[in-house]
Amino acid sequence: MAWDDPLDFKKEGIVLDYKTAGVDIEAGNAFVEKLREKAPGIGGFGGMIKIPSGYDEPILVSGADGVGTKLNICTAANDFTTIGQDLVAMCVNDVITCGATPLYFLDYLSTKKVDDNVADIMIGILKGCEIAGMDLLGGETAEHPRQLHYDMAGFCTGIVEKKKVVDGSAIKPSDKVIALASSGLHSNGYSLVNYLLVRLKLKYAEHPELLTPTTIYAPVVKRLLDEGDWIYGMAHITGGGLVENLPRCLPEGLRIDIDWNSWTVPEIFKEIQRQGNVDEEEMRRVFNLGVGYCVVVPSNRAELTMDIIRDEGIDCWEIGEVYEGN
């Protein structure tokens, strides 16, 4: 309504309040109180957390991310039960590449109204925080009455001893790359997937595998780091795939040769490639192709590394080697 609208609220007997404008304060407060049952620390102006003991030179590592157009799939399928875990995973999996242990998580969620879908999202966030072993310290749930869709962002902070930071500087030629299996598409490549589904007139609800939550690698990475000091570099395989993300953990002057035949690409990626007639190079740049996370280790620790990963219930493969050159 323009400010020069001739409607006279007082003359018409209209008493305007926030709920009439689209924001239900009581519902929002009730939502926060419900969340406090699972995350007692939220609801204040700021979240506080004590730095754990046992660190001589603690380094804090922070990251922020979202879930992109995977939200479109949730909206079309009317299923928001897994996207909260996706949000946590996208942030946590970045932070742990430095060797950090997750400390806490913050979220931002905007919605037309606080409804059951918002509750499902928050339940997923709490589940993700539990898997990662960190606290949900606070966040913001904003009601935007004229907003058509949900949007969200996450913020994660972890901690690592300075001398134990994993920054790739120890990587050398002949080191091996161990790939950890993804649970599916994770949260990348969905703009292409959405376009494909619309063009082929496929029903989103008939493809529940598209909503499989992103794997949270914090527990297995923690165990690897606790076992010894042979994890020289790590990479979270997100947008850009192996092609763009693996080089991010390498020192200058080194490269990785990937053996693309060393693992079996899951069927969901093959189906996307067939249905969309997507060339192989594009698939490698857009999707994780079944690899969600990588660690770089010395050759004499490759088998032990894979034994530990498999013992944690995650499939893995040796997919490449480090060489000199760019």
> Is residue 153 domain-shared with residue 85, that is, in the same domain?
yes
Structure tokens, 248: 């991010």
Show which of 164, 186, 221 is a domain's final residue. Answer: 164
Is residue 313, in this structure, part of any structural domain at all?
yes
Is residue 254, in this structure, part of any structural domain at all?
yes
Is residue 290, in this structure, part of any structural domain at all?
yes
> Is residue 132 domain-shared with residue 269, that is, in the same domain?
no
Give the pLDDT score at 1. 46
**Mean pLDDT, rounded, for 277-284:** 96
CB 191 within 8 Å of CB 210 = no
> Is residue 104 domain-shared with residue 193, that is, in the same domain?
no
Q: Among 131-140, 169-178, 192-201, whose mean pLDDT is lowest? A: 192-201
Give the pLDDT score at 143. 83
> Is residue 133 domain-shared with residue 209, that is, in the same domain?
no
Is residue 127, in this structure, part of any structural domain at all?
yes
Q: In the predicted model, is pLDDT for residue 16 greater than 60?
A: no
> Is residue 114 domain-shared with residue 193, that is, in the same domain?
no
Is residue 187, in this structure, part of any structural domain at all?
yes
Band of the pLDDT at 146, cuts 50, 70, 90?
Answer: confident
CATH number, residue 117: 3.30.1330.10
> Is residue 180 domain-shared with residue 58, that is, in the same domain?
no
Smallest CA-to-CA distance from 88 within 180, 183, 184, 152 is with 152
- Cα torsion 196, 268, 309, 84 to 10°: value is 50
Q: How far apart are CA 188 and CA 239, in angstroms?
A: 5
Give the pLDDT score at 227. 95
Q: In the predicted model, is pLDDT for residue 33 greater than 80?
A: no
Give the pLDDT score at 38. 66
Tens of pLDDT, residues 93-112? 999 999 999 999 999 999 88
Give the pLDDT score at 18. 55
Give the pLDDT score at 126. 95
Show which of 129, 164, 199 is a domain's final residue. Answer: 164
> Is residue 111 domain-shared with residue 215, that is, in the same domain?
no
pTM of the complete model:
0.89
> Is residue 109 domain-shared with residue 194, that is, in the same domain?
no
> Is residue 102 domain-shared with residue 146, that is, in the same domain?
yes
Give the pLDDT score at 268. 92
Is residue 247, in this structure, part of any structural domain at all?
yes
Show which of 123, 140, 164 is a domain's final residue. Answer: 164
Q: 143's torsion region: left (phi>0), alpha (psi -120 to 50) or beta?
A: beta
Give the pLDDT score at 123. 93
Structure tokens, 240: 């850009």
Q: How far apart are CA 145 and CA 247, in angstroms?
A: 43
**Mean pLDDT, rounded, for 159-169:** 97
**Mean pLDDT, rounded, for 146-169:** 93
> Is residue 158 domain-shared with residue 194, that is, in the same domain?
no
Per the structure, the complete domain to which residue 127 belongs is given by 18-164
Give the pLDDT score at 292. 98
Q: 289's torsion region: left (phi>0), alpha (psi -120 to 50) or beta?
A: left
Structure tokens, 199: 């063009």
CATH number, residue 289: 3.90.650.10
Long-range Cβ contact pairs of 26-35 (< 8 A, separation 24 or more) = 27/113, 27/114, 28/114, 28/141, 28/143, 31/114, 31/118, 31/119, 31/141, 32/141, 34/119, 35/122
Band of the pLDDT at 7, cuts 50, 70, 90?
Answer: low
Give the burial class of 315: count Cβ atoms within 10 A of its Cβ; 0-12 exposed, 13-18 middle, 19 or more buried: middle
Tens of pLDDT, residues 243-254? 999 999 999 999
> Is residue 154 domain-shared with residue 204, that is, in the same domain?
no
Is residue 86, in this structure, part of any structural domain at all?
yes
Tens of pLDDT, residues 299-324? 999 999 999 999 999 999 999 999 99
Q: Among 31-40, 53-62, 203-212, 215-224, whose mean pLDDT is lowest? A: 31-40
Is residue 1, in this structure, part of any structural domain at all?
no
> Is residue 116 domain-shared with residue 221, that is, in the same domain?
no
Count how many domains the chain has: 2
Give the pLDDT score at 208. 83
Mean pLDDT of the chain: 90
